[in-house]
Chains A and B, each alone.
Chain A
Amino acid sequence: MPASGALASVPAEVGVAKPDPVLVVNGVERRYGGLLAVDVDHLEVPRGVITALIGPNGAGKTTFFNLLCGFDRADAGRWTFEGEQADGVKPHLLARRGMVRTFQLTKTLARMTVLDNMLLAGRDQRGEGFFRALVPTWRADEAANRERALDLLGRFKLDRLADEYAAGLSGGQRKLLEMARALMADPTLVMLDEPMAGVNPALTQSLLGHVTALRDEGLSILFVEHDMDVIMTISDWVVCMAEGRVIAEGRPADIAGNPTVIEAYLGIDHGSSTTGEIR
């Protein structure tokens, strides 16, 4: 894999520059009341690889994630996506530019069919305009999108369920549907918020397979995760946060032995249930 190969020469330092990064973040801050929840000086997310964003509970991972894709407003800071300004941009515009996210608690659209969930994400659908909706020229777009949607559903083994309400899916199937739906939106950067949370081991393997396949197709992936085994298996680059700051960056091997990371995890009391977490 050429992209991860290019990372081989990048030193494992916080804020290190990478060749051709997809996302570059500078001085991002987010406060809640007096608390500084996110405080990231400089971070570059590499292109064409799987980057994991890890850290103990309350490290500000999800908040940071939400800031990046426009779902929360930063108090300070700038960032660019594909070289263009991305701070202060509405989330739907970022999505159209190719930065597509999923949610920790899956947001499948319950009272819509699986296929409709997919079709919604289709990018080129002229029938979404109010007046054009009344002219049936959109049916051509619909047919093309439908073919692509069924293809993707097939890949995630959901094609048999295409006409079921999304509410009827199991928790794992919803995760798969959400990932398929994100792909339907034709992203360049896929942002996954804890994709393996609450998923059984067999399904975790299947999800992992899908994620690596995406990377192999050339997509960039940034995901928030707790599970250390998962991180070590599939990520090419790991960013570790604690108390709102990035405390370490590097290849999985660099991170595993990093004393700052271990201290950050051990310094926090874990009563939580996620399996495989460092305790």
Chain B
Amino acid sequence: MSWLSILALAVQAALGFQGASYALAATGLNLKFGYTGLSNFGHVGFLLVGAYGMAIAADNGWSIWVGFALGIGAAVVLGLLLGVPTLRLRGDYLAIVTIAAAEILRLVANARPSEPVTGGSSGITGLSGKLGFFEPNFIPSGSFGIGDLSFNSRQLWSMLWTWGAVLVATLLVRALVRSPWGRVLRAIREDEDAAKALGKNVVVFKLQSFVLGGTIGALAGAFIALDSGAVSPTRWIAPLTFAIYTVVILGGAGTIWGPIVGAVAYWFVLDVVDGVLNNLWFDVSDTTAGAVRLALMGVGLMLLMIFRPQGILGSKKEMLAGAR
């Protein structure tokens, strides 16, 4: 593989569906973590309910809109169920309870007794066909692009919808965080007690942020289900949450466009590394290559947090202000 094609493939991942879906998931997490300071380490649980909402709709022959409604409804319920009891707890408790809740959801979806609904460990397949996601696709078939950097009609259709959703979600978050409501969120992130002392019902604001952020995450899950056409429980594990954290921090936590920039940069870097590894190491098995890639992601996250915690878009000045 030439260097040019490595770059082309990396750009393809960054601008394609992978970048878009991570940007959407990160937009939800950024509202919770970046703006409100909630350490939700179970974000993947929201993606899971979004994806399964879509899959269950397909399995029962309902429409794609029912799928979105199911996923979003489940995310709201999950957010309330999880948020009402835990948002009063300290941050570290929240982190552990949310990570546990996400794992519970995955294990329940995976378990044999859940098979009639979730398909158990093998999941649910063939859903984009049943839901007719690609039917209204007006983009002519064939591939578009230059050289190795090209997308086919289906990919472009997925990208159109997902990037569209990213844009809508980002503009919504932008309007909210620039409002007085968003100011209260930032105040809670800085010092919860100060916000309380000034008459703000902190738990309600945290709950709103938690539920909205989760709903955006569920939307990302729904699109992942639609694009891949299959949902299985193995995908929704804690390392996916950590990857989305990496995206948020890379782009700049608490910045409006950070999640988008972060997702694009994340996939670009990851795929370049992948390409280079594949070029240098012909004899490694797939699992080893995957492990090398994840190990590098871990090191990257550490270095980023230590040496450039404000990410790509964050302001150094604001970050220093936070360090005190």
Residues of A within 8 A of B (CB): 69, 71, 90-93, 95-96, 100-103, 107-112, 116, 119-121, 123, 125, 127-130, 132-134, 138, 141-142, 165-168, 181, 185
Contact = CB atoms under 8 A, between A and B. Distances in A.
A109 B193 contact: no
A120 B195 CA distance: 8
A101 B195 CA distance: 11
Contacts of A120: 183-184, 187, 195, 198, 200
Given A111-B190, A116-B183, A91 B322 contact: no
B197 A100 contact: yes
Contacts of B201: 90, 92
A133 B180 contact: yes
24 contacts: A71-B193, A71-B197, A92-B201, A96-B199, A102-B197, A103-B193, A107-B193, A109-B190, A110-B190, A110-B321, A110-B324, A111-B189, A112-B187, A116-B183, A120-B183, A120-B187, A120-B198, A125-B180, A127-B179, A127-B180, A132-B181, A133-B176, A165-B318, A167-B322
Given A123-B199, A185-B199, A107 B180 contact: no
Chain B: interface size category: 20 to 34
Contact of A181 (B175, B198, B202, B317): B198
A71 B196 contact: yes
A167 B324 contact: yes
B92 interface: no
Interface of B: 172, 175-176, 179-184, 186-187, 189-191, 193-202, 208, 317-318, 320-322, 324
Nearest to B181: A133
Given A91-B197, A92-B200, A168-B321, A130 B208 contact: yes
A134 B175 contact: yes
The secondary structure that dominates the B interface is: helix
Contacts of A132: 181
B226 to A, nearest CB: 27
Nearest to A120: B187
Contacts of B199: 92-93, 95-96, 100, 121, 123, 185
Given A95-B199, A101-B197, A185-B198, A111 B322 contact: yes
Given A109-B186, A111-B186, A119 B324 contact: no
Nearest to B188: A109
Nearest to A129: B181
B180 A112 contact: no
A128 B197 contact: no
Nearest to B321: A167
A133 B179 contact: yes
Contacts of B172: 134
A92 B202 contact: yes
B196 A91 contact: yes
A165 B197 contact: no
A111 B181 contact: no
Contacts of B182: 133
Given A71-B193, A103-B194, A165-B317, A110 B322 contact: yes
Given A112-B186, A165-B317, A168-B321, A95 B197 contact: yes
A134 to B, nearest CB: 6
Nearest to A122: B180
A92 B196 contact: yes
A109 B180 contact: no
A113 to B, nearest CB: 10
Contact of B191 (A100, A107, A119): A107
Contacts of A129: 181
B21 to A, nearest CB: 25
Nearest to B184: A128
B198 A69 contact: no
Contact of B321 (A71, A101, A133, A165): A165
A125 B186 CA distance: 16
B179 A134 contact: yes
Nearest to B317: A165
Contact of B181 (A112, A130, A185): A130
A133 B196 contact: no
Nearest to B178: A133
Contact of B198 (A95, A111, A138): A95
A110 to B, nearest CB: 5
A235 B280 CA distance: 78
Contacts of A69: 197
Contacts of A128: 180-181, 183-184, 200
Contacts of A165: 317-318, 321
A102 to B, nearest CB: 8
Given A110-B190, A165-B321, A100 B198 contact: yes
Contacts of B322: 110-111, 167
Given A95-B198, A103-B194, A107-B191, A112 B183 contact: yes
A92 B187 CA distance: 14
Contacts of A112: 183, 186-187, 190
Contacts of A102: 197
Contact of B194 (A109, A142, A167): A109
A59 to B, nearest CB: 22
B105 to A, nearest CB: 26
A111 B183 contact: no
A109 B191 contact: yes
Contacts of B321: 110-111, 165-168
